[in-house]
Amino acid sequence: MAAEGGGKEMNEIKTQFTTREGVYKLLTHSEYSRPNRVPFNSQGSNPVKVSFVNVNDQSGNCDRICFNVGRELYFYIYKGVRKAADLSKPIDKRIYKGTQPTCHDFNPLTATAESVSLLVGFSAGQVQLIDPIKKETSKLFNEERLIDKSRVTCVRWVPGSESLFLVAHSSGSMYLYNVENTCGTTAPHYQLLKQGENYAVHTCKSKSARNPLLRWTVGEGALNEFAFSPDGKFLACASQDGFLRVFGFDAAELHGTMKSYFGGLLCVCWSPDGRYIVAGGEDDLVTVWSFSDCRVIARGHGHKSWVSVVAFDHCTTSVEDGDPPAEFSGSDEEFHEQIHFGAGRDRANSAHSRLSKRNSTDSRPVSVTYRFGSVGQDTQLCLWDLTEDILFPHLPLSRTRTHTNVMNATSPPTTGQTTTTTTTISTTNPSGTNGKDIVSNSSTSANPANSLPGTLPRSNSLPQATNPPGGSTPNSHTGSSTNSSGSTKGNSIIDSAFIATGVSKFATLSLHDSRKERHEKDHKRNHSMGHISSKSSDKLNQLSSSRTAKAEVAKTLGTMLCPRMEDVPLLEPLVCKKIAHERLTVLIFLEDCLVTACQEGFVCTWARPGKVGLLSSQNNPANSPSGTVV
């Protein structure tokens, strides 16, 4: 089977793979690309990105897809697993001169079959608002590049707003815009509104309303991606300085931080219930961070190069409490699109409410499994399961264990400490450390519910890590996120209601120089974690030896910001398959499929198990659902 490649087939492109749900199959006739289907010469171009929107079309073809390839931008009806793609009839196609589209985002609130609002960011710093259905260019923001001259790295509509949007640049700044305001003919003047260590928020000084409304400066180096929480109240930022910073958006309060194991962070996403954040980057790892505990709870090692995209799978994330399996929408932007889609709203809300039943007062939480995926520059797709034995290590292990490699702590478990049976397996750890993997036999039921199994070190070197800061529960998203100025709900910086009154207790990051000029030299293409973690101190010292400021980076290793590899569980991927010839840049989970894209400009649809039958007759033109085979 194509999905089960052996050692001699490692370089073979996979067209299907198997999980516990069944077989995912690549639908070759549902591939979207440039109309000529010729692979794009990706040298020096910006990453291919894909955006979706649902327009509630009565004809049944509700989804619309937008993707950029080089200087070109395409807008199609997305037929998914239902019909073959017809690339000869794009709804809209645009070719830009002097600049390239880098990212884009639809507004799900205003989308109809007759009109959509699409934001497009560009390599020269501009942001364009277009309607590809009416084929109108509504507005161009930062046209003269007076606000920021650097590349746009991420653009998102503010959740729940029809007019506000946020734009991130490679300069490390973010800007809040209002589509109703103009940008002005002179460079904006700013006034400090809020400041913490390594971040600041300024408001634009102007007698009349103009853009930008706010300027955020976050960290050192480029701000590679940001993502809004499902409830829209928090903002997670992944930066080139290697830090994940999570803010209360309205009050600009720093809720918590995390440091990558190595290099910059490139991508970030929220779990559908807002409890966990997954980030990926130049350390080849996926890192799972708990929102309530403000700490790393797991890392995943499967990629052999930089991780470019992470996303949660809403359909496979489940809550087993007697109700049917929960369904969510995938990454943050997909979540907000779905909850405005009628039927999707009820599904998301009911699933969210079931997850909300799990809080710190429960004697036994409901059974929860989070599925997320990642793609990287190694052309591989990885799928991961985040299960109870990782989320709740104080409790007896779940009977349904997944591929989880829990590395032993610095000292072996004390005899008599736990009744859990263990089997010691002498191996060479994927991380390269000289130790032994301890595999726990979870069939025992004698382990007390409030004890920590000796074979599951829960960041033993991190004191009080299990106590949520400020006494918050996993369900509380406001009021307890900082120790400074109280509840974030009533303190909106968008309304300029207050000036900074304190610094969050988590804002303890040290200033250090940007690494963006040295990343290509410092990180080899196939620089896997097997080489990094075996001599992590040496690697960090090599990076920080040239400048004294960079010595601060090494100080974070072994702290709550960046636990050592042996201090947190190490996940192994359920699936790790090579699916493209060029680096992967897109991963989006939809209800009946998942969508990937590579730098050659090919957008691929993978049917979920049981969904492939909708296109089973695609090779027979007479029986094809679309009537033609492209």
pLDDT band at 611 (very low <50, low <70, confident <90, very high): confident
**Per-residue model confidence (pLDDT) at position 503:** 31
Tell me whether residue 557 is exposed, middle or buried, using C-beta atoms within 10 angstroms of its C-beta: 0 to 12, 13 to 18, 19 or more.
middle
**If you search the block for the tokens 């010729």, which residue do you land on?**
38
Q: Look-up: residue for tokens 């409790």?
A: 395
Tens digits of per-residue pLDDT, 313-360? Answer: 999 987 665 443 334 434 444 444 443 443 333 434 444 444 544 443
pLDDT of residue 360: 39
* pLDDT at residue 121, rounded to an integer: 98
How large is the average pLDDT for residues 358-367?
A: 48
561-598 burial, b if ≥16 CB within 10 A, otherwise e? bbbbbbbbbbbbbbbbbbbbebbbbbbbbbbebbbbbb
Q: Using CA atoms, how far apart are residues 237 and 279, in angstroms rounded to an integer?
A: 10
What pLDDT is attached to residue 483? 40
C-alpha 55/C-alpha 425 separation (Å) is 54
Which region among 155-164, 380-389, 481-490, 547-556 has the lowest average model confidence (pLDDT)?
481-490
- Mean pLDDT lowest among 169-178, 319-328, 452-461, 580-589: 452-461
Average pLDDT over residues 194-198: 92
Q: How far apart are CA 297 and CA 536, in angstroms?
A: 19
Q: What is the mean pLDDT of the chain?
A: 74
Q: Kindly indicate the confidence band of residue 160, based on its pLDDT and cuts at 50, 70 and 90.
A: very high
pLDDT above 90 as % of the chain:
54
Q: What is the DSSP string of 19-65?
A: ETTEEEEE-GGG-B--TT-PPP--TTPPPP-EEEEE---TTS--EEE
| Beta strands across the sheet bearing 50-54 | 50-54, 63-69, 72-77, 92-95
Residue 435, classified by CB atoms within 10 Å of its CB into exposed (0-12), middle (13-18) or buried (19+), is: middle
Residue 173: beta bridge partners? 217
Asked whether residue 425 carries a pLDDT value surpassing 70, the answer given is: no
Take residue 129 and report the two structure tokens written for it.
């608002």
Beta strands in 112-222 (DSSP E): 118-122, 127-131, 136-141, 152-157, 164-169, 173-178, 189-196, 199-205, 214-218
pLDDT for res 598: 96
The pLDDT tens digits for 299-321 are 999 999 999 999 999 999 876 65
pLDDT digits (tens, 9 = 90+) for 32-55: 999 988 888 767 789 999 999 999
How high is the pLDDT of residue 277?
98
Say whether 549 sits in a helix, a strand or coil.
Answer: helix
* pLDDT tier for residue 136 given thresholds of 50, 70 and 90: confident
Identify the bridge partners of residue 151 per DSSP, sorted by sequence position. none
Least Cα distance to 220 among 5, 464, 517, 488 occurs for 517
- Give the Cα separation of 21 and 36 in Å (integer): 35
Q: Hey, what amino acid is at 344?
A: G
What does the DSSP 8-state code read for residue 573? -
Query: Cβ neighbours of residue 438 under 8 Å, at least 6 residues apart?
Result: 406, 407, 408, 422, 423, 424, 425, 455
Report cis status (omega within 30 of 0) of the bond before 474.
no
- Cα–Cα distance measured from residue 20 to residue 32, given in angstroms and rounded to the nearest whole number: 28
**To the nearest whole percent, how much of the chain has pLDDT over 70?**
62
Backbone angles phi, psi at 413, to 5 degrees: -65, 145
Least confident interval from 435-444, 484-493, 569-578? 435-444
| 559 has a pLDDT exceeding 50 | yes
Least confident of 394-398, 410-414, 487-491, 543-547: 410-414
- Least confident segment among 65-69, 227-231, 501-505: 501-505
**Distance of alpha carbon 163 from alpha carbon 178, whole angstroms:** 5
Q: What is the pLDDT of residue 186?
A: 93
Which pLDDT tens digit goes with each residue over 161-183? Answer: 999 999 999 999 999 999 999 99
Which of 306, 153, 179 minimizes the C-alpha distance to 237?
153
630 vs 615: CA distance, rounded Å: 13
Per mean pLDDT, which range of 89-103, 536-550, 586-600 is the poorest? 536-550
- Token readout for 435 is 């130790």
**Average pLDDT of the segment spanning 479-485:** 39
pLDDT at 383 over 90: yes
What burial class does residue 474 get, using C-beta atoms within 10 Å of its C-beta: 0-12 exposed, 13-18 middle, 19+ buried? buried
Residue 77: is its pLDDT beyond 50? yes
Of the candidates 96, 30, 8, the one whose C-alpha atom is nearest the C-alpha of residue 624 is 30
- Report whether pLDDT(413) > 50: no
More confident: 391 or 414: 391
Is the alpha carbon torsion for 164, 482, 554, 378 positive or negative?
negative
- Span 358-365, mean pLDDT? 44
CA 21 → CA 17, 331, 344, 475, distances in Å?
11, 20, 22, 29
Q: With beta carbons less than 8 A apart as the criterion, state whether 311 and 597 touch.
A: no
Measured CA to CA, the distance from residue 295 to residue 467 in angstroms comes to 10
> In the prediction, which pLDDT does 9 show?
54
Whole-number Å distance between alpha carbons of 304 and 527: 7
